[in-house]
Amino acid sequence: MGRSATAARGPQLEGGTQPPAELHAADPVLSDRDQAMLEFERQWWKFAGSKEEAIRQKFEMSGTRYFQILNDLIDRPEALAADPLLVKRLRRMRSSRQKARAARNLGMRLD
């Protein structure tokens, strides 16, 4: 059938656990970074300067990369379980931006 279940999960430490840096989207728990991102989204307006600057300072990544990771994160059931109100709000905001973008591309107005 293919690779074994152990090989499909990636690198293992002694005792059969994965190293924390190797957490993947399919893992049942949120990583420290994922939890920090949700916390940041709850309170980002408290940071001085723009959100992009705060992202660079706190997470040491570009805004583009941050939002790619965040979009994957808010689709995970673990994130929804960790903070349902925040995740649902972020999903709604993403959906409305997608609808507005699609309407613009089709030359329609959403008023």
Q: Which two tokens stand for residue 30?
A: 């949120």
Which residues are CB-neighbours of 90 under 8 A, at least 6 positions away?
Answer: 41, 70, 74
Q: Residue 44 and residue 51: Cα distance in Å, rounded?
A: 7
Give the pLDDT score at 25: 47
For 56, half-sphere exposure in the C-beta direction (CA atoms, 13 angstrom radius) is 7
**DSSP, res 3:** S
Please tell me whether residue 11 adopts helix, strand or coil conformation: coil
Task: Output the tens digit of pLDDT for each of the chain's 111 residues.
Answer: 444 444 444 445 455 544 444 444 455 689 999 999 999 999 987 777 889 999 999 999 999 999 999 999 999 999 999 999 999 999 999 999 999 988 888 887 665
Question: Using CB atoms within 10 A of its CB, is residue 56 exposed (0-12), middle (13-18) or buried (19+)?
Answer: middle
Q: Token match 């893992």: residue?
A: 27
Give the pLDDT score at 103: 87
Amino acid at residue number 20:
P
Give the pLDDT score at 23: 43
84, 76 contact by CB (below 8 A)? no
